[in-house]
Amino acid sequence: MFHMQRTFLPLCLLAVGVLATSGTPPNGRPIGTPPPFLVPSTPWADSVFSTLSLDERIAQLMMVAAYSNKDARHETEIEQLVRERNIGGLIFFQGGPARQAKLTNRYQAAAKTPLLLGMDLEWGLAMRLDSTIRFPRQMTLGALQDDRKVEAMGEEIARQMKRLGIHVSFSPVVDVNNNPANPVINDRSFGEDRENVARKGIAYMRGLQNGGVIATAKHFPGHGDVDSDSHLTLPMIAHSRTHLDSLELYPFQRLVDEGLAAVMVAHLEVPALDSTKGQPSTLSHPIVSDLLAREIGFRGLVFTDALNMKGVANADKPGAIELRALLAGNDVLLFPQDPVRAIERIRQAVDSNLIDRALIDHKCLKVLRAKEWAGLARMEPVKTEGLHADLNTMQGKLLRRQLYAGAITVLNDHKEILPFREVGTTRIASLVIGDTLNNAFQLGLQRYADVKTFRCDKAIKRDSLTALLRKLEDFDRVIVSVHNTTWRVNKDFGIPETAMDIVREIASRKPTVFALFANPYRLTRAYGAHYLASVITAYEETEETQDLVSQVIFGGLGANGRLPITASSFFAAGDGRDLRPIGRFGYTFPESIGIQSKDLARIDEIAASGIKAQAYPGCEVLVAVDGQVMFNKAYGHSTYEKNRRVRTDDLYDLASITKVASTTLALMKLVDEGKIDLTQPLGHYLPEIEGEHTARSHGPA
């Protein structure tokens, strides 16, 4: 086995040498923008390289798994590996940001050579860490029409990563998902259209790399058309080379041409690329060296996928797997099962001339140059003070809200009932399936109209359904939503067929809007869904998506998302209708109009002081700018007896507040225009008022 691989070695070394120094790979294909860390740099990497022993140079090619939610024993083991073996880096998994920051400082302090730290952060730090902002999954982003928002997300994630001392994001996923049953990629992909995947992938990559973070496109050569999970087994991609060139490989080529820094190789069996039966692509010289490096022209860092995954772990013993991965052409060995044994086995291979030492040196120097570009030559400890606030800014939350809003997709509107217009005369009901009454969605709907709310479980008996249908007979329109959904394909995305039966029964009787807070692949087997009056998909279920969809239904917010996948013959990739807002209030953050939320804190103080002084028993404050409500809060009680608290859905008699409201607004405008000075008495501007007051004050008692 190893003898055969040795025969490929001179070619591998030749290719690496040419790619590192030339603008054209051996097959003659011009190379685009080089990876950012290959640009001219300071002598730091060369200086560090000269201090490393052979074992340490091999260790620089290891990235070991670390956690911030495990015990002291785990932390001690990692520190020993760092201190005694001088491993190259760590991939952090589950935990919390404050705990991880402390461990990062501890491990970096123990390291002879600064550690390259990476994480799986496809939807931001929240993919691995609690108490952080969770950005949309990539399928949601695939629905966006504005790729600049994806780039902005990449920049914000990079900012957060740098704040936490992380240098490598194992994102974006540029697999083209063309299998609805894919159990491992699915909504982690931008979709099924190769151009959309490539554009979004480039935008995400640019955002990360503009922010000084190494972006890693995955999972090469393409993990989108599998029906098994490489964490558990070795999936097979049975397509022809022509098919792979036209679809799976296309986004990778595009990102490489645009200056991609890193690629992660998947654990896949791809006979069209390597005919060796049972050969994982991670261990395949034809796939990693010949295809990725020579044909595609990639010169950046090549990471293996985690080497503890069953898709590769069953291929050989620990140590032998890592050796084979290096021989295949990978640079960084991710999550080795036994890093000490792997280092020793690779050194033995060098000592026995199975591997040329020049190959180890080349890969080690490449890793060090990547570290230099990522800022490790000027590394400072992570500051823990203010960390939570810095990772959870309102600007970051506003960007997330804009991403979710831009993705909302109206799939059909057969009766053109969206957005709802005649709400005063239309009887509207909302049914939530699988959630409690007055959830975030129903509360959002009730801001606009007198929406009657109902609920039921995802499976109900026939007599209960009949009773529910009878209650809905009095309404003109019904809004149905299913909740507590999931991303899991084998769980029907949290929407069992019994729940869809309820939706169909209602839709057969009333004009129905179906709000889908789940993966749109659920529509693949949603028989009759195309007969629904309207279908709106938000791709994910969060309080924010529920709030935003409620605004779309009533015209406070527009929608222009496009379906990134084909769900059925009725719902194809690219489908979506544009809806414009119709002048009703939308709801947003103060930051969307340039105001800081913290600057509105005084409103609470003013409202409380008025209640304390008994100027009023309670009140509601609503601030809107250009039709967007940025602040809406209720205070106190309806009466001084304090029997009922003021609510934001209370109705007020406008006639009783017109005098105060109109006068105040007019006065504010006059002050803005400099026509009135509030320090002057009223009589300064209305002398007749002062005269009347004087006459009355001297008149008879």
CATH number at residue 499: 3.40.50.1700
Q: Give the span between the Cα atoms of 235 and 254, in whole angstroms.
A: 25
Q: Please check whether residue 401 lies inside any domain of the structure.
A: no
Residue 147 or residue 670, greater confidence = 147
The predicted structure's pLDDT at residue 690: 62
- Exactly one of 130, 147, 229, 231 is catalytic; name it: 231
pLDDT band (50, 70, 90) for residue 23: very low
Higher pLDDT, 251 or 660: 251
Shared-domain flag, residues 379 and 439: no
640 and 683: one domain? no
Examine the fold and report which residue of 337, 369, 394 is the final residue of a domain before the chain moves on.
Answer: 394
| 400 occurs within a structural domain | no
pLDDT of residue 699 exceeding 70: no
Q: Tell whether the model's pLDDT for residue 103 goes beyond 90.
A: yes
pLDDT > 80? residue 315: no
Residue 403 in any domain: the answer is no
Q: CA-CA distance, 307 to 342, in Å (whole number)?
A: 11
Q: Is the pLDDT of residue 533 over 60?
A: yes
Q: What is the pLDDT of residue 146?
A: 97
What does residue 588 show for φ and ψ, rounded to 5 degrees? -150, -175
601 and 535 belong to one structural domain: no
Domain annotation covers residue 399:
no
In this structure, are 560 and 497 located in the same domain? yes
How confident is the prediction for the chain on average, in pLDDT? Answer: 91
- Least confident segment among 130-139, 199-208, 445-454, 652-661: 652-661
**What residue type is assigned to position 458 of the chain?**
K
Residues 569 and 604 in one domain: no
Residues 63 and 209 in one domain: yes
Q: Residue 691: pLDDT band by 50, 70, 90 thresholds?
A: low
Range 24-29 average pLDDT: 48
> Is pTM, for the whole model, over 0.85?
yes
Does 471 map to a domain? yes
Q: Residue 185 carries which DSSP code?
A: S
Domains of the chain: total: 4
Model confidence over 428-469: pLDDT tens digits?
Answer: 999 999 999 999 999 999 999 999 999 999 999 999 999 999
Domain that holds residue 478: 408-582
Percent of the chain with pLDDT over 70: 94
Q: How far is CA 363 from the centre of its chain?
A: 32
Q: Is the pLDDT of residue 15 over 50?
A: no
Give 460 or 682, the one with higher predicted confidence.
460
pLDDT(405) > 80: yes
Residue 316 has pLDDT above 90, yes or no: no
- Would the pLDDT of 41 be above 80? no
Q: Are residues 596 and 568 in the same domain?
A: no
Q: Which of 582, 603, 623 is the last residue of a domain?
A: 582
Q: What does the alpha-carbon distance between residue 28 and residue 35 come to, in Å, rounded to a whole number?
A: 19
| 582, 604, 639 - which closes a domain | 582
Q: Does some domain include residue 288? A: yes
Name the active-site residue from 290, 305, 331, 575.
305
For residue 614, pLDDT over 60 is answered with: yes
CA atoms 295, 297, 299, 304: torsion sign: negative
CATH code of the domain covering residue 371: 3.20.20.300
**Interval 280-308 mean pLDDT:** 97
Any idea which of 29-38, 49-58, 257-266, 368-377 has the lowest mean pLDDT? 29-38
Higher per-residue pLDDT: 281 or 6? 281
- Do 525 and 548 fall into the same domain? yes
Q: Which of 64-78, 405-419, 547-561 has the lowest mean pLDDT?
A: 405-419
Per-residue pLDDT at 687: 81
pLDDT band with cut points at 50, 70 and 90 for residue 30: low
One domain, residues 332 and 420:
no
Predicted pLDDT at 364: 98
* In a shared domain, residues 624 and 507: no
Residue 697: per-residue pLDDT = 42
231 included as an active-site residue: yes
Q: Do 462 and 531 reside in the same domain of the chain?
A: yes
16 — pLDDT class (breaks 50, 70, 90): very low
DSSP 15-77: HHHHHHH-SS-TT-PPP-SPPGGGS---THHHHHHHT--HHHHHHTTEEEEE-SSS-HHHHHH
Predicted pLDDT at 31: 60
> Within a domain: residue 402?
no
Sign of the dihedral defined by the CA atoms of residues 390, 395, 398, 399, in that order: negative
384 and 417 inside one domain: no
Does the structure show a pLDDT above 50 at 21?
Answer: no
261 Cβ partners below 8 Å, 6+ apart? 35, 36, 37, 205, 209, 214, 215, 216, 300, 301, 370
